[in-house]
Amino acid sequence: MFDYDDQNIFAQIIKGEIPADIVFEDDDFICFKDIAAQAPTHLLLIPKNQKVASIAAIQSEDVHWLGAMMILATNIAKDHGLNDSGYRLIFNSGEGAGQTVFHLHLHIIGGKKLSGQMV
Ligand code: AMP
């Protein structure tokens, strides 16, 4: 279920093989707009150098880059003006949770009043 496929669509975006609307990129992470945005701001933050299919597949040795990723997510949310309105950071893990791309990614969602319903 959590096998990593080098040809997944986010791996292709990281390699520049297919385009994306990139809002942030450094050596370790890339963040781009979700192609099917579910809110005025809907970004995907993705590690570039980790072959991890899902948050359920992380190991204790992943703590450093994963912590950096979470801090980066809050900074990107702030840069997009989401601090005042509020936002959600979401990992979908597994097909039962709606995960469709098996390269770890964090949804950054905001820019509108979000439902009180989590599911
Ligand atoms: P998940 O359902 O958690 O696996 O999220 C995958 C997300 O990737 C979905 O919200 C899709 O809309 C988004 N997505 C799929 N292909 C692309 C693409 N080429 N560029 C940007 N976002 C994409």
* pTM for this prediction: 0.97
Q: Looking at the predicted structure, is the pLDDT value of residue 63 above 70? A: yes
Q: Looking at the predicted structure, is the pLDDT value of residue 106 above 80? A: yes
Cα separation, 53 vs 62, in Å, equals 13
- Architecture of the domain delimited by 9-110: 2-Layer Sandwich (3.30)
- 34: which 2 tokens? 């979700």
Confidence at 3, pLDDT banded by 50, 70, 90: confident
Cα separation, 43 vs 75, in Å, equals 13
Query: For residue range 5-49, what is the model confidence (pLDDT) as tens digits?
Result: 999 999 999 999 999 999 999 999 999 999 999 999 999 999 999
Residue pair 111/85 in contact (Cβ under 8 Å)? The answer is: yes
- Structural domain spans, the chain: 9-110
Q: Looking at the predicted structure, is the pLDDT value of residue 1 above 70? A: no
- 61: which 2 tokens? 């040795």
Mutate to test the pocket of ligand 1, among 21, 42, 92, 101 (most ligand atoms within 8 A of CB): 101
- 102: which 2 tokens? 């098996």
Query: Residue 111: left (phi > 0), alpha (psi -120 to 50), or beta?
Result: left
pLDDT at 69: 98
Phi and psi dihedrals of 57, rounded to 5?
-100, 0
Mutate to test the pocket of ligand 1, among 1, 4, 44, 106 (most ligand atoms within 8 A of CB): 44
Average pLDDT of the residues of the chain: 96
Cα separation, 96 vs 66, in Å, equals 23
